[in-house]
Amino acid sequence: MEKFSRTSSWRISSPLWSLSLFLVAALCMDPEYDYLSWNGGHTYGKPQYCTDIPDDLRLCRNVGYEKMLLPNLLDHESMAEVKQQAGSWVPLVHKACHPGTQVFLCSLFAPVCMERPVYPCRWLCEAVRDSCTPIMEAFGFPWPEMLTCSKFPTGDMCIAMNATSTPESPTSGLSPVCPPCDNEQSIDAVLEHMCASEFAVKTKIKEVKKENTDRKVILQKRKKVVKLGNFNKNDLKKLSLTLKNGADCTCQQFDDLGTNYLIMGRKVGKQYLLTGIHKWDKSGKFRKALKKLKTHKCPAYEAIF
C-alpha cells in the first residue's frame, strides 16, 4: 500500500467525470480550507492513506482513476468492509437511473486520492436521489439516511458532473420498463437480483391486476422453490406479489402468463414485493447462477439500506 503524501499522484480519464480541476487544485493548495467545517465532515480513528482501487470493487471499476483513500468518506476503515457495503449499490448503477450515480457513490465509497477529502456536491446528490429513489422503492429500499443530501457541501469545492452532458433517452416519451422487469439475463445480473431478494420460485403467473399505483401479481399454486431464505414453504403457497409503483410502467413478461418464470421477491412490511422476473432459461444459465450463489457472498443490503 502506498502511504498518502503531498506528492501522491492521481489521474482522471473517464468521461463520467467532469471535475472542475482548477477548483480541486485550489482546494489542495489552500491551507485555510477546512473540510470539516460543514455538517457532513468526518474525523477518523485511523490516518488516511492512498491505496489502489481493487479490480473486485465492482461499484468503482473503471470509474476513471486508480487510487482511493482509506478510511473512505463513509467511515469504512478496511477494504473488505468497502467491498461488502459497496456491492449492494452495483445493481442500482446497472439500472442507469441517473448518469451521475457511479460518480456520486464512488466519491464516497472510493474517494479520489487527494491531499484532503473532496465530497460530492449537494446538487449531484439531489439529482441522483430524485432519479433513483423510485427504482429503489420498487425493490423496497428507501433512500438511506447516510446519504442525506443536506450533509453534502454547496459551492465550488465539491465533486460534480457536467449537467449538460446527460444523454437523451432513446425511449423518451414511452412508458419506462418496470425495474424488476428488465430483460438482462446475464449470470451476474441474475445473481444480483438473487442477492437483493429473500426468496425465489419457478412458477407461472395466474393473474395481474392494477391496485392504485401498484400492480398485484398473483402466482399459480404450483411453485418450485429456488431460494427459500428465512421463509418456509407454507409462506409461499398462496403468494401474491406487489409490483411497487408498477401500474403504468412496462413489463413485457406479463404478456405471456402461460410461461414459466423465475420470480424473486422480498417482504417489506406486510407486502411481498416483486424484485425480479425472468423468463425461465432452459439452457442452464439459471442453474449456473444458483450454483454460484452457494459460494457467493452477497452484499449487506440491510446494513446499507
pLDDT per position as a tens digit, 203-254: 999 999 999 999 999 999 888 888 888 888 787 777 889 999 899 999 999 9
Domain end, chosen from 130, 165, 200, is at 165
Looking at the structure, do residues 160 and 271 belong to the same domain, yes or no? no
The model's pLDDT over 82-112, given as tens digits with 9 standing for 90+, comes to 998 898 898 888 888 999 999 999 999 999 9
Looking at the structure, do residues 223 and 294 belong to the same domain, yes or no? yes
Residue 14 lies in a domain: no
What pLDDT does 183 receive? Answer: 67
Asked if residue 51 has pLDDT above 90, the reply is yes
Cβ atoms of 224 and 201 closer than 8 Å: yes
Q: What is the CATH number of the domain that holds 274?
A: 2.40.50.120
pLDDT band at 29 (very low <50, low <70, confident <90, very high): very low
pLDDT band at 291 (very low <50, low <70, confident <90, very high): confident
What pLDDT does 284 receive? Answer: 74
What pLDDT does 193 receive? Answer: 77
Taking residues 118-137, what's their average pLDDT?
Answer: 93
27-34: Cβ within 8 A, 24+ apart: 27/114, 27/116, 27/118, 27/157, 28/114, 28/115, 28/116, 33/116, 33/157
Taking residues 72-86, what's their average pLDDT?
Answer: 92
Dihedral, CA of residue 18, residue 19, residue 21 and residue 23, to nearest 10? 140
Looking at the structure, do residues 160 and 27 belong to the same domain, yes or no? yes
Q: What letter would DSSP give residue 233?
A: G
Alpha carbon distances (Å) from 148 to 121, 123, 152? 12, 12, 8
What pLDDT does 21 receive? Answer: 30
Q: Among 105-109, 280-284, 297-301, where is mean pLDDT lowest? A: 297-301
Looking at the structure, do residues 186 and 288 belong to the same domain, yes or no? yes
Looking at the structure, do residues 123 and 205 belong to the same domain, yes or no? no
Looking at the structure, do residues 156 and 283 belong to the same domain, yes or no? no
Residue 173 lies in a domain: no
What pLDDT does 46 receive? Answer: 75
Looking at the structure, do residues 158 and 192 belong to the same domain, yes or no? no
Looking at the structure, do residues 95 and 146 belong to the same domain, yes or no? yes
What pLDDT does 55 receive? Answer: 92
* Residue range of the domain that includes 155: 21-165
Count: domains in the chain: 2
Asked if residue 292 has pLDDT above 80, the reply is no
Residue 66 lies in a domain: yes
The model's pLDDT over 144-183, given as tens digits with 9 standing for 90+, comes to 999 999 999 997 789 987 544 444 443 344 468 898 887 6
More confident residue, 16 or 114: 114
Residue 12 lies in a domain: no
CA gap 200, 237 in Å, rounded: 13
* DSSP β-bridge partners for residue 99: none
Q: Name every residue whose Cβ is closer than 8 Å to that of residue 113 and which is 6 or more positions away in sequence.
A: 4, 8, 10, 50, 65, 67, 68, 69
Give the predicted TM-score (pTM) of the model.
0.72
State percent of the chain over pLDDT 70: 78
CA gap 281, 101 in Å, rounded: 31
Residue 156 lies in a domain: yes
What pLDDT does 185 receive? Answer: 66
Cβ atoms of 176 and 241 closer than 8 Å: no
